[in-house]
Amino acid sequence: MNKMLELEGISKTFFPGTPNAHKALDQLSLTLEPGDFVTVIGSNGAGKSTLFNVISGMFLPDEGRIRLDGRDITFEKEHKRAAVIGRIFQDTTKGTAPGMTIEENLALAYLRSTGKRSLMGITAADRKLFREKLAQLDLGLEDRLTAKVGLLSGGQRQAVALLMSTLVTPKLLLLDEHTAALDPATAEKVLDITRRIVREQKITCMMITHNISSALTLGNKTIMMDSGRIVLDLQGKERQEMTVPRLLELFKEKVSKDFDNDRTLLGQD
């Protein structure tokens, strides 16, 4: 079976050849099997979001190759990758179109991933699917198909964004601190929804989080980044037995500094 994601020696330098040159990704390699759910942690500026930007095609890497499900997508355009790579950001206004209704947002996402050409192609059966998927969120949104998304709370918008990214199962789902802007109870709810969707659809997923405790409990692998590199790659028994204090200790050993993400949460969100 194909690997789902293969990153080989990815480097990215911002402002190359200037005094501000900064190597955000440094020869980074990573392989994900289909169905892997990897949590990503690291200090501020470690290169986590840049890694997602390179995978989703917002920036091209200076060096290295990216393969998705066996296909080399290193130079593929961002919009083309967007049909198979879902992405949710911390900013709850980014994933949805506020002036459009819930139904229109879902329909647009559906068009993007199915290759259907216009909203005219959306059938009654599709609408039924939208309603069912919304009902599963358990947020009462199935009765608000024609409400403008701009009127929803941050948590509801993240839930709709998650649905949009997964209506058609993506090859890869990238979550960049997607619950960090939510209040603790809502964050927990959106994480539950995330966990359920990823499990049911067996989605290969990467989730950046500043919550070290959820990094160790969600998914099946954890990577720790620093200075554009993966400094720790945990899975299996080693991961099961890992504790938050031990992980922070390991970080200190690996990079000779404290884990300095000012938003790092050691316990539950």
Ligand X SMILES: Nc1ncnc2c1ncn2[C@@H]1O[C@H](COP(=O)(O)OP(=O)(O)O)[C@@H](O)[C@H]1O
Contacting positions for Mg ion (CB under 5 A): 48-49
To ligand X, the closest distance from the beta carbon of 230 in angstroms equals: 12
Query: DSSP assignment of the chain, as one string?
Result: ---SEEEEEEEEEESTTSTT-EEEEEEEEEEE-TT-EEEEEE-TTSSHHHHHHHHHTSS--SEEEEEETTEE-TT--HHHHTTTEEEE-SSTTSSS-TTSBHHHHHHHHHHHHH---SGGG--HHHHHHHHHHHHHHTSSGGG-TTSBGGGS-HHHHHHHHHHHHHSS--SEEEEESTTTTS-HHHHHHHHHHHHHHHHHTT--EEEE-SBHHHHHHSSSEEEEEETTEEEEEEEHHHHHT--HHHHHHHHHHHHSS----TT-BSS--
d(CA 144, CA 106): 12
Q: Which entry of ligand X, Mg ion, none binds 212, CB below 5 to 8 A by partner kind?
A: none
From 42-50, 103-111, 166-174, 198-206, span contacting ligand X (CB under 6 A): 42-50
5, 7, 24, 205: which one binds ligand X (CB under 6 A): 24
**Residue 238 neighbours by CB under 8 Å, 6+ apart:** none
To ligand X, the closest distance from the beta carbon of 46 in angstroms equals: 4
Side chain identity at residue 220, one-letter code: N
Q: Which lies closer to ligand X via its Cβ, residue 42 or residue 64?
A: 42
From 46-54, 71-79, 135-143, 191-199, span contacting ligand X (CB under 6 A): 46-54
Q: Does 47 bind ligand X (CB under 6 A)?
A: yes
28, 39, 42, 163: which one binds ligand X (CB under 6 A): 42
Q: Does 49 bind ligand X (CB under 6 A)?
A: yes
Q: Which entry of ligand X, Mg ion, none binds 116, CB below 5 to 8 A by partner kind?
A: none
Strand ordering across the sheet containing 172-176: 85-88, 172-176, 205-208, 37-42, 221-226, 229-235
Q: Does 44 bind ligand X (CB under 6 A)?
A: yes
Q: Which lies closer to Mg ion via its Cβ, residue 34 or residue 45?
A: 45
To ligand X, the closest distance from the beta carbon of 172 in angstroms equals: 18
Q: Which entry of Mg ion, ligand X, none binds 102, CB below 5 to 8 A by partner kind?
A: none
Q: Which residue is nearest to Mg ion (CB)?
A: 49
From 40-48, 111-119, 192-200, 240-248, span contacting ligand X (CB under 6 A): 40-48
8, 11, 22, 195: which one binds ligand X (CB under 6 A): 22
3, 14, 65, 82: which one binds ligand X (CB under 6 A): 14
- For ligand X, the binding residues (CB under 6 A) are 14, 22, 24, 42, 44-50
